[in-house]
């Protein structure tokens, strides 16, 4: 059974599209979002569970906030989800914006199995991106390893992998990557910008700051929360009195726009790495779903 993949930057409408496609092909959706796995982190990660309706979904609310979750575990969890979906006789649809997670599934990175080195991560975290980049440049690169340096978090992971591979053999690949048809959504920049800003205002109105307060009160460390993404980083700083409300909104809004650009950069990197992404024409959700189904049937779009 071919895996259908729907990817796109934040606020592109990919979840709505995945749900519409799932309705038409008896599908079940697997989230490809590195933050939606955490319980209690709903508004800041954009789970939008009401959109799914009766469509089954997987890999949302998998672990408690504060726990460590990494790409190698994600890939194993996807394999389990694929088996469960197949047993239910449904079509799997992988949907999200975390390019690294998607690529780990459809290309089967051998490097996903490199274990997390918490002590190394703690030691590297205080350093600047420039210092970390210089450290990575001076490390020998394992064969075929193409480090993702788009964020500080991923730069640290690249150093972790490169250093580990100097003294260890790579773990065996657990199972072949599934056959996948990958579809991408890339709205016009101005449309995306308007959606991001409107969505941020809505999430704040719904209680994003209360969500962050609850996480802090539950015992999740402030340092850990800032590691979980922009919304949690800036909300934590605001609640700690490090900036006023106007600065908080302005900075967070700007950084989310930049994040969307970095997502698109990573998707282009995926194409350079040999993955074929079929970019959809912009239209309504129904029109894009029609286009996906047409291409899945092997007919010209």
Binding-site residue set for ATP:
8-15
Q: What are the DSSP E strand ranges found in the chain?
A: 3-7, 27-32, 38-39, 57-58, 63-64, 91-96, 180-184, 277-279
Query: ∠ CA 44-48-54 to the nearest 5 degrees?
Result: 155
- Using the 8-state DSSP alphabet, how is residue 111 labeled? G
Known binding residues for substrate are 10-15
The number of beta carbons lying within 10 Å of the beta carbon of residue 204 is 18
Q: Go through the chain and tell me how many residues it has.
A: 301
How far apart CA 255 and CA 247 sit, in angstroms, is: 12
Residues 6 or more apart in contact with residue 132 via CB below 8 angstroms: 124, 152, 155, 156, 159
Do 116 and 70 contact (CB within 8 A), yes or no? yes
What 3 state SS string does 23-67 have?
Answer: HHHCEEEEEECCCCCEECCCCCCCCCHHHCCCCCEECCCCEECCC
Binding residues, by number, are: 8-15
């Amino acid at each position: 059974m071919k895996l259908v993949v729907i990817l796109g930057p934040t606020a592109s409408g990919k979840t709505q599209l995945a749900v519409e496609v799932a309705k038409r092909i008896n599908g079940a959706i697997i989230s490809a979002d590195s933050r939606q796995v955490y319980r209690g982190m709903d508004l800041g990660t954009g789970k939008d569970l009401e959109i799914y309706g009766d469509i089954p979904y997987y890999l949302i609310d998998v672990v408690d906030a504060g726990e460590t979750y990494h790409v190698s575990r994600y890939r194993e969890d996807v394999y389990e989800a694929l088996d469960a979906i197949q047993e239910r006789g449904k079509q799997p649809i992988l949907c999200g914006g975390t390019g690294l997670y998607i690529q780990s599934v459809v290309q089967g990175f051998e490097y996903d199995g490199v274990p997390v080195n918490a002590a190394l991560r703690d030691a590297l975290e205080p350093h600047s991106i420039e210092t970390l980049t210089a450290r990575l440049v001076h490390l020998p690169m394992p064969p075929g390893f193409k480090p993702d340096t788009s964020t500080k978090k991923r730069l640290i992971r690249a150093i972790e992998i490169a250093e580990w591979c100097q003294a260890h053999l790579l773990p065996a690949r657990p199972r072949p990557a599934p056959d996948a048809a990958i579809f991408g959504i890339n709205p016009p920049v101005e449309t995306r910008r308007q959606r991001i800003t409107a969505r941020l205002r809505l999430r704040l109105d719904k209680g994003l700051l209360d969500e962050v307060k609850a996480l802090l009160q539950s015992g999740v460390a402030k340092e850990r929360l800032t590691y979980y993404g922009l919304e949690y980083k800036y909300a934590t700083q605001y609640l700690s009195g490090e900036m006023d409300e106007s600065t908080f909104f302005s900075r967070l809004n700007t950084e989310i726009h930049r994040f969307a650009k970095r997502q698109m950069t990573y998707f282009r990197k995926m194409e350079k790495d040999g993955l074929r992404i079929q970019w959809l024409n912009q239209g309504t959700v129904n029109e894009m779903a029609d286009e996906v189904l047409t291409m899945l049937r092997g007919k010209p779009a």
